Structure 1
Amino acid sequence: MSAEEPALSVTTVFASLSWLRDAPGYSPKAIAERLIGSLGADAAAPLLGVSEELLGRWAAAQDAPDVHGRLQLADLDALVGHLHGAFTPAQAMVWMCSHNAQLGSKPIDVYRIQGSGPVIGAIRAQAKEAFG
């Protein structure tokens, strides 16, 4: 920690995060809408492991995802955010569907099996290499 960085306690972090579950931009409805807007329902639904109809009900707040569904939404939302931060949409599509040496497979396949963690790590490594 540098001299400019204030100390941050675990209590402060969790107290700050306590309101997040119901914050408008983080609700399942908002995330589902964002994913549909970014990827389209036909691409987002299979990545989430749900039907397009169920994803649409989440986006319309006609149905609420269970804990697993909320985690899937958050995971895919995090991945899409990193892709948007590092690539243009066309670059992201090519990158996700091309073999990645660090991952040993296509990022899309790694995401389907392991979730966003390793893929986000590879995005960060590539961005660091490109801009670092």
Structure 2
Amino acid sequence: MEQLQEANAEEPELSATTVFASLAELRDAPGYGPKAIAERLMNSLGPDAAAPLLGVSVGLLDRWASGEDAPDAEGRLQLADLDALVGHLHGAFTPAQAMIWMCSPNVQLGSRPIDVYRTQGSAPVIGAIRAHVREPH
């Protein structure tokens, strides 16, 4: 019995080389490029909401989504950050609940999640979403 528990406790080794070799292909993978992320955010949030959250004009976001223009490194990070937040919101809430949650004061964050996102990015907001999901309802 102890041997079975020991075997289950062991996790397969994951080398950094394997992870980073896989990540090298990710930049151009369908669904992960800036064009695909911009399209997804425009479809999910609408351009009038997504653009200000990214700190860009609707026109620039539209050019990113159409592939006419490509974001710089900072723009790519902003796209990925907002995309991660939206993914967590979709996983935890209905669209109506997500809007209410993002715009309501949050004790854990000490402010409204939307304001925390604008000043600190998605990490603390995603942490609060995860805490909310783990809370007994």
Is the TM value for this pair above 0.5? yes
Q: Which runs of 5+ in 2 are unaligned?
A: 1-7
Unaligned runs of 5+ in 1: none
Q: Which letter does structure 2 place at the counterpart of 1:34?
A: R
In structure 2, the residue matched to 1:45 is 51
Q: Distance in 1 between matches of 2:120 and 2:82?
A: 12
Q: Match for residue 133 of structure 2?
A: 127
1:111 is aligned to 117
Q: TM-score, normalised by structure 2?
A: 0.92
Q: Note the aligned Cα RMSD (angstroms).
A: 1.1
Q: How many residues end up aligned between the 2 structures?
A: 130
Alignment of structure 1 residues 4-23 onto 2, 5 Å: 5-23=11-29
Percent identical among aligned pairs is: 78
The whole-number CA distance in structure 2 between the counterparts of 1:28 and 1:7 is 31
* Bigger Rg, which one: 2
Structure 1's consecutive aligned runs of 4 or more residues displaced over 6 angstroms after TM superposition are none
Find the aligned partners of 1:85 and 1:4 in 2 and give their Cα distance.
29
Could you tell me which residue of structure 1 aligns to residue 67 of structure 2? 61
